[in-house]
Amino acid sequence: MLEYFQILGNELYKIVFLLVPMLVSVAMIVWLDRRVWGLVQKRKGPNVVGPFGLFQTIADALKYIFKEIIIPASANKVVFILAPIVTMTLALVAWAVIPISEQIVLADINVGILYLFAISSLGVYGIIMGGWASNSKYPFLGAIRSAAQMVSYEVSIGIIIINVLLCVGSLNLKDIVLAQKDLWYVIPLFPMFVIFFISALAETNRPPFDLPEAEAELVAGYQTEYSGMMYAMFWLGEYANILLMCAMGSILFLGGWLPILDVYPINLIPAPLWMILKILFLFLLFALIKAIVPRYRYDQLMRLGWKIFLPFSLIYLVLTASFLFYFNKLPNGNF
Amino acid sequence: MLTHTLFFYFFSIIAIFSSLMVITSRNTVNSVFFLILDFISVGCLFIMVGAEFLGMIILIVYVGAVAVLFLFVVMMLNVAEQKQSWFIGKKSTHIPTGLIVSVLIFLELLVVVGGWKQKDNLMNSSTLEISNISNTHQLGLVMYTDYILYFQIAGVILLLSMIGAILLTFRKRSGVKKQNYFKQISRDPESSVQLLKVESNKGVKIDD
Instruction: Tell me which amino acid residue A84 is.
Output: P
**How far apart (Å, rounded) are the C-alpha atoms in residues A184 and A256?**
9
- pLDDT tens digits, one per residue of B137-168: 778 888 888 889 999 999 999 999 999 999 99
In this complex, the residue of B3, B65, B134 whose CB is nearest that of residue A110 is: B134
The answer to whether A126 and A200 are in contact (CB under 8 A) is: no
Alpha-carbon distance A216 to B41, whole Å?
A: 40
A56 located within any domain: no
Residues 104-143 in B contacting A (C-alpha not used; CB under 8 Å): 134-137
Q: What CA–CA distance (Å, rounded) separates A289 from A175?
A: 31
Name the minimum distance, in Å, from the CA of A114 to any CA of chain B.
6
Residues of B within 8 A of A79 (CB-CB) are 29-30, 33
B163-188 residue pLDDT tens: 999 999 888 888 887 778 888 888 88
In a domain, A301, yes or no: yes
How close B68 comes to chain A (CA, Å)? Answer: 7
Mean pLDDT for the stretch of residues A158-166: 90
- Say how far apart CA A177 and CA B90 lie, in whole Å: 64
3-state secondary structure A236-254: HHHHHHHHHHHHHHHHHCC
Mean pLDDT (chain A) is 85
pLDDT at B121: 58
The residue ranges of every structural domain in chain B are: 1-92, 131-162
Instruction: Identify the pLDDT of residue A334.
Output: 42
* Interior/surface letters B84-104, b for 16+ CB within 10 angstroms, e for the rest: eeeeeeeeeeeeeeeeeeeee
Q: Which residues of A touch B63 (CB under 8 A)?
A: 118, 121-122
> Could you tell me the maximum CA-CA distance found in chain B, to the nearest angstrom?
99
CA-to-CA distance for A48 and A55, rounded, in angstroms? 9
- Please indicate, yes or no, if residue A23 is contained in any of the structural domains: no
Pick the range with the lowest mean pLDDT from A17-21, A157-161, A219-223, A318-322.
Answer: A219-223
What gap in Å lies between CA A175 and CA A102, rounded to an integer? 10
> How far, in Å, CA of A126 to CA of B121, rounded?
44
Q: How many C-beta neighbours within 10 Å does residue A52 have?
A: 13
**Is the pLDDT at B87 greater than 80, yes or no?**
no
Give domain status of residue A30, yes or no: no
- How far apart (Å, rounded) are the C-alpha atoms in residues A219 and A225? 10
Residue A164 near residue A250 (C-beta atoms within 8 A): no
Classify residue A36: in a domain, yes or no: no
Number of domains in chain A: 1
Chain centre distance of CA B178: 30
pLDDT of residue B89: 56
For residue A333, pLDDT over 60 is answered with no
Task: Label residue A335 by pLDDT band (50, 70, 90).
Answer: very low
Is the predicted ipTM greater than 0.85, yes or no? no
Q: Is A167 part of any domain?
A: yes
Give the model confidence (pLDDT) of A256-267 as tens digits.
888 877 777 777
Query: Can you give the residue range of the structural domain that contains A84?
Result: 72-326
Between A30-39, A140-149, A228-237, B120-129, the lowest mean confidence (pLDDT) is in B120-129
Cβ-Cβ pairs closer than 8 A, A with B, add up to 68
In the prediction, which pLDDT does A237 show? 87
A273 within some domain: yes
pLDDT confidence band for A130 (50 / 70 / 90):
confident
Interface contact B63-A147, CB threshold 8 A? no
Mean pLDDT of B43-48: 88
pLDDT digits (tens, 9 = 90+) for A177-207: 888 888 888 888 889 999 999 999 988 888 8
CA distance readout (Å), B161 to A155, B47, B69, B126, B157: 18, 30, 16, 32, 6
Torsion of CA B69, B72, B77, B78, to 10 degrees: 150
Asked if B168 is an interface residue toward chain A (Cβ–Cβ < 8 A), one would say: no
Mean pLDDT of A86-101: 88
Closest partner residue to A121 among B2, B64, B135, by Cβ? B64
Q: What is the pLDDT of residues B4-23, one digit of tens each?
A: 888 889 999 999 999 998 88
* Chain centre to alpha carbon of residue A6: 33
In this predicted model, what pLDDT tens digit does every residue of B128-140 receive, in sequence order?
Answer: 555 667 777 778 8
CA distance to A106, A130, A233, B153, per residue, from A93 (Å): 11, 19, 14, 37
Give the integer Cα–Cα distance in Å for A199 and A194: 9
Within an 8 Å CB–CB cutoff, is residue B185 touching chain A? no
* Contact call for residues B18 and B37 (beta carbons, < 8 A): yes
- Residues in contact with A210: Cβ distance below 8 Å, sequence separation at least 6, in sequence order: A295
Fold category of B1-92 in CATH: Four Helix Bundle (Hemerythrin (Met), subunit A) (1.20.120)
Q: A331 preceded by cis ω (within 30°)?
A: no
Is A4's CB within 8 Å of B136's CB? no
Asked if residue A53 is part of any domain, the answer here is: no
Q: For residues B208 and B159, which has the higher predicted lDDT (pLDDT)?
A: B159
